Chain A
Amino acid sequence: MREGDLFGFLGPNGAGKTTTIRMLLGLIHPTRGSIQILGQDIKHHLQEALNGVGTMVEGPAFYPFLSGERNLAIFDGAGTDGPKDTRLKRIRTVMERVGLDHVNDRPVKAYSLGMRQRLGLASALLRKPRMLILDEPTNGLDAQGIHELRTMFVELVSEGTTIMLSSHLLAEVELICTHAAMMSNGRVVAQDDVASLLSNTGWVRVSTPDVDLAVRTLQDGPFAYERVDDQSVRIELGDRPSELLNKALVQSDVRVRELVVERRTLEDVFLERTGSSDIH
């Protein structure tokens, strides 16, 4: 991964995403190979590497009998680089950022799922890490929460943080990630920047009530086409601009209701690379 990426890590359950993340964090020992985070080999310099990393793996976890703020204070105090004099201020700032500033001294066992998720993010952000490694961060959040989170990630990346998100929500990753990798059965089957993975298919789908007329017009032309049904036809344009096709059809009296440039989705890439329909 490169610094400054918003990196999506995709794959079905059981593909090995969580195991990989646990290896990155030093929780599980790999049998072969090496891992470097922020320039440090984690086999010999795990502490230095993890000092710049904030994480949330397989859901947040807290001490249920303590309040949210006290939980953050405990995690902050547990390591060596959480300065005590700024602790309270950093806790307040981060609680505000995730939208938990209205919570008073309630113990965490009284929190809803969404609140726990937010507190988990707050904990990851507490020391302004250079890198975030997040496993399914939108889990348990409602639509508004997901939207707020998405905005926050984009903000964080613009501030210089590198983020690695693992997710099964392909659409989410497509929307915000700059790079993505896909895992299946323990192997990475695709890794590239998202724009390259989602290249145009070169096809265009036209929806029109005048399908027969459209087909007649296309028959004389150089483009391959396919009649889909009574209301639509697909045309292979390659690199050529779709507006010219639109003009040509309209000039032939074909009423164009809708013209859509077909793009590959991550779902398509995934199905292609893994040959399975096991996405969630």
Chain B
Amino acid sequence: MIRVELSKLLRRPRTWVTIALLSGLPVIVGAFIKASGLAPRPGEGPALLSEVLNNGLLFPAAALAIILPLFLPIAVSVIGGDTIAGEAANGTLRYLLTRPVPRARLLVAKLVTVTVFIFLAVIMVAVVAFIAGVFLFGIKPLSSLSATALTPAETTIRTIMAILYIGWSMLGLGAIAVMASTRTDSPLAASLATLAAFVASQVLDLVEGTRAIRPYLPTHYWLDFVDLYRDPILWRDVERGLLVQLVYMAIFLSSAWANFSTKDITS
């Protein structure tokens, strides 16, 4: 079943269009920076973007920082919201279940699909940005965010870790999307509900007076992947970020399972 679901994901034009858009945007930004010679001042704009004029090896991380606040969550909400609700709206849910496919197996296969999409997207964005970064900005030893420099090899390793961390950071949102998808027959409703949760989290993270709950918001530790580029690596927020996603996954995936295993399928 997992193979079948992955086959559907990879054969669907929408999957590749989304990934192309996610990969293309940072390249456009990079091209503008290169053409104008003007990068954001350090501390302003997406993380690490101020550094790219100095070193193209940082461009993958900057690219991920560009798509992380908005476009990547949107993509995850759309793909995640489509998992069960999309099959229901299409009419094919009843044919999969009566094939027969046990409900648990279908749900697991869909989860695997969402996870594969997330990591595929993040890796593709990084790879495209790497090629563009080398081409536009060249490779030099970088100044890391603490005074000592990282070699290109170390930068690459940190980038791989950042990719994994960012992919993992999206899984909480993905779990919310899948849960929403089991509760409605409209993939759009599921995606929008997920986006609403995402926006709420972002807003609460900024508003004064919410300091107590901020560490528990799903988006709070998203941008802490930059700590992986520090020398030495600052693990504290990275570890917390990993844990928060795990908790959200546990809560929302159990809810998705509880709902999907017992509901009446009228689609």
Report which A residues bind B (CB closer than 8 A): 22, 25-29, 46-47, 50-51, 53, 55, 57-66, 70, 74-75, 77-79, 123
- Asked if residues B94 and A78 are in contact (CB atoms below 8 Å), the reply is no
Q: List, in ascending order, chain B residues with CB within 8 A of A74's CB.
A: 4, 7-8
Residue in contact with B95 in the complex, picked from A28, A51, A75, CB distance below 8 Å: A75
- Asked if residues A63 and B92 are in contact (CB atoms below 8 Å), the reply is yes
Given A74-B4, A78-B1, A26 and B97 contact (CB-CB distance below 8 Å): yes
Please report whether the interface of chain A is mostly helix, strand, loop or mixed according to DSSP: loop
Q: Which residue of A lies closest to B265 (CB)?
A: A27
- Asked if residues B266 and A26 are in contact (CB atoms below 8 Å), the reply is no
Q: Which residues B46-95 have CB closer than 8 A to chain A?
A: 90-92, 94-95
- In the complex, besides A22-B94, A27-B94, A47-B100, 9 extra interface pairs with C-beta distance below 8 angstroms are A22-B265, A26-B100, A27-B97, A46-B102, A51-B100, A53-B98, A74-B8, A78-B1, A79-B101
Q: Which residue of A lies closest to B7 (CB)?
A: A74
- Asked if residues A65 and B100 are in contact (CB atoms below 8 Å), the reply is no
Q: Which residue of B lies closest to A133 (CB)?
A: B98
- Asked if residues A59 and B91 are in contact (CB atoms below 8 Å), the reply is yes
Q: Is B41 an interface residue (CB 8 A)?
A: no
Closest beta carbon of chain B to A53's beta carbon, Å: 7
- Asked if residues B100 and A27 are in contact (CB atoms below 8 Å), the reply is no
Complex Cα spacing A243 to B265, Å: 57
Q: Which residue of B lies closest to A49 (CB)?
A: B100
* 5 tightest Cβ-Cβ pairs between the two chains A and B: A61-B91, A50-B100, A27-B265, A79-B99, A28-B264
Complex Cα spacing A160 to B267, Å: 31
Complex Cα spacing A272 to B214, Å: 69
Closest beta carbon of chain A to B86's beta carbon, Å: 10
Q: Is B11 an interface residue (CB 8 A)?
A: yes
Q: Which residues B242-267 have CB closer than 8 A to chain A?
A: 262, 264-266
Complex Cα spacing A61 to B98, Å: 13
- Asked if residues B91 and A46 are in contact (CB atoms below 8 Å), the reply is no
Complex Cα spacing A50 to B90, Å: 22
- Asked if residues A61 and B92 are in contact (CB atoms below 8 Å), the reply is yes
Q: List, in ascending order, chain A residues with CB within 8 A of B102's CB.
A: 46-47
- Asked if residues B95 and A123 are in contact (CB atoms below 8 Å), the reply is yes
Scoring B residues 30 to 51 as 1 if CB is less than 8 Å from chain A, else 0, what string do you get? 0000000000000000000000
- Asked if residues A78 and B266 are in contact (CB atoms below 8 Å), the reply is no
- Asked if residues B98 and A78 are in contact (CB atoms below 8 Å), the reply is no
Interface centre among A29, A59, A70, A79 (most CB of B within 10 A): A79
- Asked if residues A27 and B8 are in contact (CB atoms below 8 Å), the reply is no
Given A27-B264, A27-B265, A57-B94, A79 and B13 contact (CB-CB distance below 8 Å): no
Residue in contact with A78 in the complex, picked from B11, B12, B96, B265, CB distance below 8 Å: B96
